[in-house]
């Protein structure tokens, strides 16, 4: 039976600059703050019209054209951090969905949405900018710990989409690799290099994750931890 999800909101945004929060901080630039889209919007191979990324090394590109986050996960964050008015778009996602979550969506899943065909490419790896956006220093860490990350889509067929439309699963080539399991492998402590190699062999996983997992068995744990700390804390 086809898995159905519904897009309840679409958000886009261009990079903007933010001042340092205090004398010890630094100004920063990000496209994490996005605005609600009304009506139809065109989705190209690299992004949704009106959406851009500030850091093209770690965000955007063919494998990370569209960022997805489940609406259901916001219930958890409302309890975890009640001082924030959590709502669709708060995690910087392009598509807020209902009906899909990390355990029931798989790497390589192909969906139709409007006139588009989209494919799940990798989980999101939260970074320090999400924490700084909300003034919650440990938010990125908690997203990683809970595995409530959301995921990225690549665009196999361009076209227009709009909120309210259904996403319909039409192909599942890798049912063994749901997003939650991929997160467990990427964020495992200690790392399981056998599982790293197995996930890296998934041909529809994003290039960056395949390269990272493929290298990890050849790298020291200490180096991996330094890289992870920089992503989560910006230090």
CA–CA distance, 225 with 235 (Å, rounded to integer): 12
Report which of residues 53 and 185 the model is more confident about: 185
Q: Which positions ≥6 away from 205 have C-beta within 8 Å?
A: 107, 108, 121, 122, 177, 182, 199
Mind listing the pLDDT tens digit for each residue in 60-92?
789 999 999 999 999 999 999 999 999 999 999
20: confidence class by pLDDT, cuts 50, 70, 90? confident
pLDDT of residue 123: 98
pLDDT of residue 224: 56
CA–CA distance, 132 with 19 (Å, rounded to integer): 11
Mean pLDDT of 111-131: 96
Report which of residues 16 and 223 the model is more confident about: 16
Mind listing the pLDDT tens digit for each residue in 171-205?
999 999 999 999 999 999 999 999 999 999 999 99
145: confidence class by pLDDT, cuts 50, 70, 90? very high
Q: Is the pLDDT of residue 233 over 70?
A: no
**CATH number reported for the structural domain that contains residue 82 in this entry:** 2.40.33.20
18 within 8 A of 30, measured Cβ to Cβ: yes
Mean pLDDT of 27-46: 94
Report the mean per-residue pLDDT for the chain: 91
pLDDT of residue 213: 95
218: confidence class by pLDDT, cuts 50, 70, 90? confident
Other C-beta atoms within 10 Å of 188: how many? Answer: 13
Report which of residues 3 and 113 the model is more confident about: 113
Mean pLDDT of 96-111: 97
Q: Which domain holds residue 97?
A: 4-233
Task: Count structural domains, the chain.
Answer: 1
């Amino acid at each position: 039976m086809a898995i159905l999800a519904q897009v309840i909101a679409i958000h886009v945004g261009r990079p903007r600059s933010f001042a340092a929060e205090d004398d010890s901080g630094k100004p920063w630039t990000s496209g994490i703050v996005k605005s609600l889209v009304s009506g139809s919007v065109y989705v190209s191979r690299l992004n949704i019209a009106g959406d851009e990324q500030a850091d093209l090394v770690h965000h955007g590109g063919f494998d990370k054209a569209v960022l997805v986050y489940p609406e259901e996960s916001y219930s958890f964050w409302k309890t975890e951090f009640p001082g924030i008015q959590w709502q669709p778009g708060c995690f910087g996602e392009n598509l807020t969905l209902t009906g899909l979550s990390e355990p029931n969506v798989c790497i390589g899943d192909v969906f139709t949405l409007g006139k588009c065909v989209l494919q799940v490419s990798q989980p999101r790896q939260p970074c320090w900018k999400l924490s700084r956006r909300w003034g919650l220093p440990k938010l990125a860490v908690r997203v990683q710990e809970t595995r409530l990350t959301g995921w990225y889509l690549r665009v196999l067929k361009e076209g227009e989409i709009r909120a309210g439309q259904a996403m319909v699963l039409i192909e599942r080539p890798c049912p063994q690799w749901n997003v939650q399991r991929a997160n467990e492998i990427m964020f495992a402590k200690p790392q399981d290099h056998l599982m790293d190699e197995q996930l890296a062999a998934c041909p529809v996983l994003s290039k960056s994750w395949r390269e990272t997992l493929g290298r990890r068995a050849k790298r020291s744990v200490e180096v991996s931890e330094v890289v992870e700390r920089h992503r989560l804390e910006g230090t």
